[in-house]
Amino acid sequence: MTLTYDNRSAAYDLNLFKDSAAEKLPKKKTEKKTEKVEKNKVVTLPREEIVKIRRRKHNPFKLFIGGMASLAITFAVAVIIIGQVQLTELNQQIISKKAELSNAQSTYTQNQMAIQSNHSTTDIENYAKEKLGMSKAENAQKEFVSLSKGDKAEIAGDANKNFFQKIIDAITGLWS
């Protein structure tokens, strides 16, 4: 039997799926095996052995490695926390010492101002006249020095300089 169909309507042709068009496959014959199940073949275990079998067996090496890893993590976290606590304490000490320093500086400034206000120039002149017996310098006591000749300073140098050192000294002498 041959079927002809148009390519345009092949998706909607339901005749292709009818039983008459499909080849029938032979059915397999299944044999039923009948076995006689004997009674009393069931093994029973005591309850303690069932619990022991069901209990999960742990690998001691894996337990040791897991315990060591958890200890290492706990130690690392503890070290980080302790470090943060110490850092916070040190920061608090720095802040308190800075406050003490600023208080001490303001006290020092106040004391300096008080000292300067107590010792004015007139007070110092009076103290020098009365207690120390000093007097102001008069014109006869003053000596005047004139520098009209143009004083000159010379630096004693090494006489054993080589040619290159003399050139370098001459160049640096121009800049000074």
Q: How confident is the model at residue 67 (pLDDT cuts 50, 70, 90)?
A: very high
Write down the pLDDT at residue 122: 80
DSSP per residue over 120-152, as a string?
-HHHHHHHHHHTS---PPPGGG------TT---
Q: Which residues contact 74 (CB under 8 A, 6 or more apart)?
A: none
Could you report the per-residue pLDDT of 51-61, keeping only the tens digit for each? 777 777 778 89
Could you report the per-residue pLDDT of 85-140, keeping only the tens digit for each? 999 999 999 999 999 999 999 999 999 888 877 777 787 888 888 989 888 888 77
- 49's tokens: 């052995």
Q: Is the pLDDT of residue 1 over 60?
A: no
Write down the pLDDT at residue 44: 79
Q: How many helical (H) and strand (E) elements, i.e. helices and strands, does the chain have?
A: 4, 0
3-state secondary structure 70-110: HHHHHHHHHHHHHHHHHHHHHHHHHHHHHHHHHHHHHHHHH
Buried b (16+ CB within 10 A) or exposed e, 141-171: eeeeeeeeeeeeeeeeeeeeeeeeeeeeeee
- 114's tokens: 């008080």
Q: Which residues contact 3 (CB under 8 A, 6 or more apart)?
A: 15, 16, 21
Residues of the chain above pLDDT 70, percent = 69
Q: How many residues does the structure list for the chain?
A: 176
Mean of the per-residue pLDDT values for the chain? 78
